[in-house]
Amino acid sequence: MDDHLLGWLRTLEEDRLGRILANRPDAIAAPWPRRLDTLAQRLGNGFAVMEAMRGLPLPCLELAQACLALRETTPERLAAFVGVPAAELTPWLDRLYDHALAWPGADGVVHLADGVARWWTAPLGLGEPLDHYLNSWTISNDMLRALARNLGLPPHGNKRRTIARAAETLGDPDRLDALLRDAPDGTRPLLDGFAWDGPVRDVEGGRFVMPGTPEKWAADHGLLYRPSWHVAEMPREVALCLRGPSYHPPFTPDAPEIAALPVDPEEADHLMTLAAPHVVERCAALLDNTSKVPLPLLKTGGVGVREVRRVAKETGCDEDETRLLLEICAVARLLAWDEQSAGMVPTERYDRWRLDEGSARLRVLLSAWWRMERSSLRKIDGKYGTVLGDDQSGSAVARVRRAVLSALTALPSGTAFAGQSGLVRNVHWNAPLLDQALLAECAPAVLAEARLLGLLANDTLTDLGRALAGLAASAGDENDDTVPLVEHDPALVEASTRALASVRRSALFGPDLTAVVTGPPSAELAALLDRVAERESRGAASVWRFSTESLRRALDRGFDADELLDELAGVGTIPQPLEYLVRDTARRHGEVTVSTVGCVVQASDSALLSEIASHRRLARLGLRLLAPTVLVSSVGPEPTLAALRENGYSPVAVSDTGEIAIHRTRAAEPRNGKLILLPGGQVAELSDFAAPHHAFAEPAPDPHEHARRLIAAGQNANEQNGRTWAVIGRMATRLATAQQSLLGFVVDRGVRAGITLTDGLTATISHGELRGGVLDAWCEEAGDYLEFPLAEIVEVRGAY
């Protein structure tokens, strides 16, 4: 923890501290801190600092890098360094302060969080400070005295003073320029190469020991240092002097403009209402297809191109749609690997998803795409990647997706971006830590995927796209099993409901045996017509054609003529030719029958099979003798095997692949812990409690309200110091001394520990505070702060 940061936090008013907590949701994520020192630890965490930096625009990071290049940086020195008035830096410095990535010291010096420096190993292309080299163990006192003589400095004095004199000389542009007048020919070009293209460069080591060479002269005068024989480095102060007073690091306060064109908002809205229901409908068709024919994976992982094309053909999707929806369904946990089926099949979540209303189903898909860590339509060397294969870019792809859509929100409603290159430059300004090559590679794929999902139309964001783009901070992770908050965001709920408001739930049946839907069909209507007819076209109007073959397929699935006619009559008026076709197909259906059996029992001994067929205790299996060595059972293989074994026989199972079955696999569902919070602050223990599908994390407190509590807690902190061990020793009398000490660390240092109460209840706690004879601590199982009486704690153990 940075003591400067903690000291600054203690000086803040509620407004600025509230802004910091709002900008850094990681700092008040559960278990939310209740002391400023705990908050400072979170704000200074290296990983958290890096995530906060990802959300800052280019000017903030340019200033942070410039601060790293200077010493004792004040806003005035920083403004002079970048060559702009100090007033222009103020909003960007404030933004760094509001993210606790930088803060002003009492002396006006700008301090940076330790994690900021880890991103730039050589800020502005500059090396380490001079004292880093001079304080190295490789520099002896004799070498320092020799350096002082070469620089014209007094060689006597202690090491610290000699280093200070040398740094002052080499950091002064005038004195360095005077020193270089006596340098050998070729020294200035050598040093300029390190100053502008360094700070580390490969060199010829022998020239550093050869008298009269520029390399040896530069090393003897402290301008270059060699960590190894063929590598040399230039100190930061020397490089800045060589760049000269006219050098200013880049500072880009204005975002690149996105060229825009006017578009018709009503047309974009219409395209959204066509695309959104189409996504839900095609996703249902794709999952229904995989329930009948499990989707196999390649030995190297992922779904092969041949399988993607097969699914696309059988479901009426194009190949791009199929690629995208397969990956979205996998992230949404609607599709998963099933070992028994040896393929990807729908999960039990799909059964729940298909019963939801259309807008809820759409939000599940959009939420999955929003956090998906691969790009379905990204091309590498002109080729798509493997569907559901490994993507080495991982979470960076998800960040690119969110950055692209967020940049489009800057365009006013009714305008579209005119060029992709301008959009990419603007995205880079808003998210400069994104890999530029990955951004340029993924941006076209992100836009194409957004068009397929109804988020982008005519190169402008639709209402659905704007609602989703505003949820970048709560997108979640691809590995999240719980329902993310994105799916239940009020703005996205409203937009998705409107996007599906124009779906058609009825069809026009023609005497030419066609059904026409003038608009986007609902998923239920599309499923009905797909079941009984062949789709001929889709778009603003979709057309299905009835035929003997299509109706026979429906009858094969167990429907009869009256049932089909009733369902069709529920969505439109049935013409007489269609009714005749349905009834005529049903009349001929079943002229040839094929019996279905549960399983087949075979044996080489015909007498043994005859014995089994006549066994009274096996009558419930409905056994029939088809041939002397073939017996069929009316029930499945598992109960048949169990019954035969129960009655003294020793059957073995043989795989049967002659029947198409509907497969389901159980997706891993999140589990709740043992404790659940009840009204009144009570807790109850639930054994084997499965969390519901719609599981939410405990919401974090309001940033400004929590800032007020933190300030109040900081004012009362001195009253609590020194009381921890006395209170625990007096009140937690059931604990051994070592366990009392561990409980004290839960209070003073926020460590995790497991506790057991007198009634056998167990909990994992951390971040505790003492309130009289009660320990108020974060309970991981309950997801909240709970109170545990010290006198009722019978055991404390470490939790790792």
b vs e for 628-661, b when ≥16 Cβ sit within 10 Å of the residue's Cβ?
eeebbbebebeebbebbeeeebebeeeeeeeeee
Q: Is 587 helix (H, G, I), strand (E, B) or coil?
A: helix
Given a contact cutoff of 8 angstroms between Cβ atoms, the answer to whether 609 and 629 are in contact is yes
- Name the token pair of 695: 């599981």
How does strand 379-380 pair with strand 383-384?
Answer: antiparallel
Given a contact cutoff of 8 angstroms between Cβ atoms, the answer to whether 284 and 354 are in contact is yes
Mean pLDDT value across the chain: 85
Q: What is the pLDDT of residue 648?
A: 79
The pLDDT of residue 193 is above 90: yes
pLDDT in tens, 293-314: 899 988 888 899 999 999 998 8
**Long-range Cβ pairs for the range 679-687 (8 Å, 24+):** 681/786, 681/787, 683/761, 683/763, 683/779, 683/782, 683/786, 685/761
State the angle between helix axes of 86-98 and 14-23 in degrees (0 to 180), rounded to the nearest 10. Answer: 70
Residue percentage of the chain with pLDDT more than 70: 91
Q: What is the pLDDT of residue 673?
A: 35
Place of tokens 């007094």: 154
State the angle between helix axes of 358-371 and 490-499 in degrees (0 to 180), rounded to the nearest 10. Answer: 120
Count the Cβ atoms, other than its own, within 10 Å of residue 517: 24
Q: What is the pLDDT of residue 680?
A: 35
Residue 604 burial (10 A CB sphere; 0-12, 13-18, 19+): exposed
Closest CA to 674 of 790, 765, 787, 796: 765
Given pLDDT bands bounded at 50, 70 and 90, which one contains residue 460?
A: very high
Conformation bin of residue 317: beta by default, left when phi > 0, alpha when psi is -120 to 50: beta
Residue percentage of the chain with pLDDT more than 90: 35
Angle at 455 between CA 454 and CA 458, to 5 degrees: 80
pLDDT in tens, 381-439: 888 888 988 777 788 999 999 999 999 998 988 899 998 999 999 999 999 999 999 99
CA end-to-end span of the chain, whole Å? 21
- Name the token pair of 542: 């979709």
Distance, CA of 769 to CA of 750 (rounded, Å): 9
Closest CA to 613 of 645, 621, 605: 621
- Name the token pair of 641: 């095997």
Distance, CA of 522 to CA of 517 (rounded, Å): 10
Closest CA to 649 of 597, 606, 608, 610: 608
Q: How many Å is the maximal CA-CA distance in the chain? A: 115
Angle at 414 between CA 412 and CA 420, to 5 degrees: 75
pLDDT in tens, 702-719: 888 888 888 887 666 544
The pLDDT of residue 688 is above 60: no
Q: What is the pLDDT of residue 340?
A: 84
The more confident residue out of 167 and 403 is 403
Q: What is the pLDDT of residue 698?
A: 54
- Cis peptide upstream of residue 31 (ω within 30 degrees of 0): yes
Q: How many CA atoms lie within 13 A of 664 on its CB side?
A: 8
The pLDDT of residue 206 is above 80: yes
3-state SS string for 282-309 = HHHHHHHHHHHCCECCCCCCCECHHHHH
Amino acid of residue 243: R
- Name the token pair of 613: 């067929």
Mean per-residue pLDDT, 551-568: 82
The pLDDT of residue 29 is above 90: no
Point out which residues pair with 678 in neighbouring strands: 682
Closest CA to 522 of 571, 575, 454: 571
Angle at 457 between CA 451 and CA 459, to 5 degrees: 95
b vs e for 265-275, b when ≥16 Cβ sit within 10 Å of the residue's Cβ?
beebbebbbbb
Check residue 648 and report its DSSP letter.
T
Given pLDDT bands bounded at 50, 70 and 90, which one contains residue 143?
A: confident
Given a contact cutoff of 8 angstroms between Cβ atoms, the answer to whether 628 and 661 are in contact is no
Give, for 515, the enclosing helix (H) or strand (E): strand 514-517
Mean per-residue pLDDT, 29-38: 84
Least confident stretch, 415-424, 649-658, 750-759: 649-658
Distance, CA of 168 to CA of 161 (rounded, Å): 11
Distance, CA of 640 to CA of 598 (rounded, Å): 9
pTM higher than the cut 0.85? no
Given pLDDT bands bounded at 50, 70 and 90, which one contains residue 655?
A: low
Distance, CA of 665 to CA of 343 (rounded, Å): 10
Given pLDDT bands bounded at 50, 70 and 90, which one contains residue 602?
A: confident
Check residue 347 and report its DSSP letter.
B
Cβ neighbours of residue 800 under 8 Å, at least 6 residues apart?
752
Distance, CA of 214 to CA of 277 (rounded, Å): 72
Q: Is 261 helix (H, G, I), strand (E, B) or coil?
A: strand
Q: What is the pLDDT of residue 657?
A: 52
- Name the token pair of 397: 């792809």
